[in-house]
Chain A
Amino acid sequence: MSVRDLTGNRRWLAFAGCCAWFVFTIFPLYWVAITSLKTPPDVVNGPTYFPFIDFEPTLKAWRDLLSGIRGEFYSNFWSSAIVSVSSSVFATLLGAMAAYALVRFPFRVRLLSGVIFFAVAMGGFLLGRNVFGISPAMASILAFTVALALSVFLNRFPLPGKVLGNDDIVFWFVSQRLFPPIVVAFALFLLYSEMGKMGFKMTDTYLGLTLAYISFSLPIVVWLMRDFISALPLEVEEAAMVDNVPQWRIFFGIVLPMSRPGLIATFVITLAFTWNEFLFALFLTNSEWQTLPVLIAGQNSQRGDEWWAISAAALVAIIPMVVVAGLLGRLMRSGLLTGAVK
């Protein structure tokens, strides 16, 4: 049963249903758009719906916004743009590499070596902190380095217990996104401020925010890219292997171009996440690298309910993503693999 099979009245009912849903989804956008063109009295004196009919549109809110009298608008816009684009590029690239490895090479991680990692990392940290009195940052760096080296080394030996495979690793990646972001944001803030005490300024820096976004985006990227890469024909890579093409060139010269639609889709999803991200930006930045969502959220409390100004700022946050999705959408089309096999 498909909508195409409907006839007569049912067809019109379905069409009416679709129209209603369309209006429902498009209305908020429309409302924001017209509100940004209203004068304060038009907003406050009851609802008005149509420009030129029940109110006279004005560009005052936009002029205010762009002239910078409402906070460091340009600065926030650019920090948003730089951080989100660069973190999405890096996350997509790194995630694609991880996903490729997880699709093509079997990994065997012994559960016991994971447990040892956890025990040594936690124990080492507590030991360094409470017994030797090392600073928290240094204690955790030392403990984690030792724990990682030890568990990688021990994984070579036939330890008893369960052996985890690639699927388990992917689940572990994705599970990073199961707990509430606030937990991570809090921990990251503590970590960053500890690093700041050691001389590496991480809060309110490009590097700090970008690294946070990369690590928080990676699970989704790995998960998405794994599906795209596992759909690629293995023979093409085998042909390159027989042709003595080095592994890194197979990845960059053949696998990445073949998975272009997947890369772009993943990039857009990651970009949407980092562009819209609010919580990390709120915690980890305060002035220099503050992003657009934080600025917009602050509008209300800074100046009261100036909806015309908030609407203009919100549109500035919305439009770039719409443009990006529109431009890259056409590159996402499938059918790129035609001609590779069969």
Chain B
Amino acid sequence: MAKISLSGVTKSYGSVQVIPSMDLEIEEGEFVVLVGPSGCGKSTTLRMIAGLETVSGGKLMIGERDVTELRPGLRNCAMVFQSYALYPHMSVRDNIGYGMKVRGVRKAEIASAIEKVARILNLSEYLDRKPAALSGGQRQRVAIGRAIVRDPDVFLFDEPLSNLDAKLRVEMRVEIKQLHRRLKTTMVYVTHDQVEAMTMADRVVVLRDGIIEQAADPITLYEQPANQFVAGFIGAPSMNMLEGRIEQVGEDLRFRGEAGSDFAIPQERVASLAPYAGETCVLGIRPEHTHEEGGGDPSVEIEVVDIEPLGPHTLLIGQAGGAKFTGQVAAGTKAEPGERRHISFDPHKLHFFRAGDGRTIR
């Protein structure tokens, strides 16, 4: 168990800078998820922690040790890869025990460690099989088992569930969380799936182009995104964004934007938004805070493009002026593509972003 600290860590490939100076502290025993769109540098960051990529600049510490120049094997990390990366010619038993065997651990000790891990991961029946004879989920469990017997300071997961089917992914998500609760080891987990990030993490680090956009616990990320990018990335379906202007009309502050959105900004937001009167800004509305027109709530008019009946509720996917807009309506709602509908939203659950740099206005 150890904390990880990156101070001013950079990564360049030739003249291309992938990560411009990153500072990140990961606490002892914390479960941190790095999330972001592809190419955001999350895997590179993880691989730098593992030592599989060299650090171009800055300092990387695991616990009290400076590991910046240390080779991967000496960092006492265990890594689980997206592609499992099992040794194909070895049985499950040998796959899990190989590292210990190489390190010269006594045979009896190896055997008992393997037995224990196999029990934790429900692999006991498969110990003599080759990886080829296992299903995807079992293979990934073997990879996790191989990581556990290492008894590492840090667990590193590089999109471990991306190759699994949806149902298995949910199961494995729970298993990995339980594992973290049981082992209490520091874990760094990379994924592009924001649902995985939200459900598993103590703290989520949202990355874009190698820059940390926000690092916070899942609920803070959801309720108080630091900027438009985080707001749009976290939450599924993603947040609707409407451009418009904030205008002073008599005593009221109003938002006037695309698709007929024109409403009085609620009292609790007036103070923070007043300085932006007369300026353009972006309004963010989560689909789950919308409903069918009614109740005197402000609304937008959308042209329905598609409907997605999900069971508990139905999504109306449409176009509001120049922007895409997804509304969440009651389960039985019927609509045809091309139809025009009014979607209302809760004025107390709105997000406002500055038009220029996308920062949240609080």
Contacts and interface: CB of A to CB of B under 8 A. Distances in A.
Interface in A86-139: none
Interface string B229-270: 000000000000000000000000000000000000000000
B131 interface: yes
Interface string B70-96: 011111011101111111110000000
B74 A244 contact: yes
Interface string A234-275: 011011111111100100011001101000000000000000
Nearest to A257: B89
Interface string A166-185: 00000000000000000000
Contacts of B132: 335, 338-339
A156 to B, nearest CB: 20
Contact of B103 (A240, A244, A335): A244
A339 B72 contact: no
Contacts of A254: 87
B102 interface: yes
Given A243-B73, A341-B81, 6 more contacts: A235-B81, A236-B85, A238-B79, A238-B81, A238-B85, A336-B89
A319 interface: no
Q: Which 5 A-B pairs have the closest CB atoms?
A: A339-B131, A244-B73, A339-B132, A341-B83, A235-B85
B89 A242 contact: no
Q: Which of A235, A239, A243 has the most CB of B within 10 A?
A: A239
Contacts of A233: 83, 85
B229 to A, nearest CB: 30
Contact of A246 (B83, B102, B133): B102
B150 interface: yes
B51 A339 contact: no
Contacts, number: 100
Contacts of A245: 73, 98-99, 102
Interface residues of B, number: 36
A244 B102 contact: yes
B130 interface: yes
B52 A341 contact: no
A342 B52 contact: no
Interface of B: 50-52, 71-75, 77-79, 81-89, 98-99, 102-103, 130-134, 136, 139, 143, 146, 150, 156, 163
Interface of A: 233, 235-236, 238-246, 249, 253-254, 257-258, 260, 335-342
A253 B88 CA distance: 11
A301 to B, nearest CB: 51
B88 A336 contact: yes
Contacts of B75: 242
A243 B81 contact: no
B87 A242 contact: no
A278 to B, nearest CB: 38
9 contacts: A236-B86, A238-B81, A240-B99, A242-B50, A242-B79, A246-B102, A249-B102, A340-B131, A342-B84
Given A242-B52, A242-B73, A245-B73, A341 B103 contact: no
Contacts of B88: 236, 258, 336-340
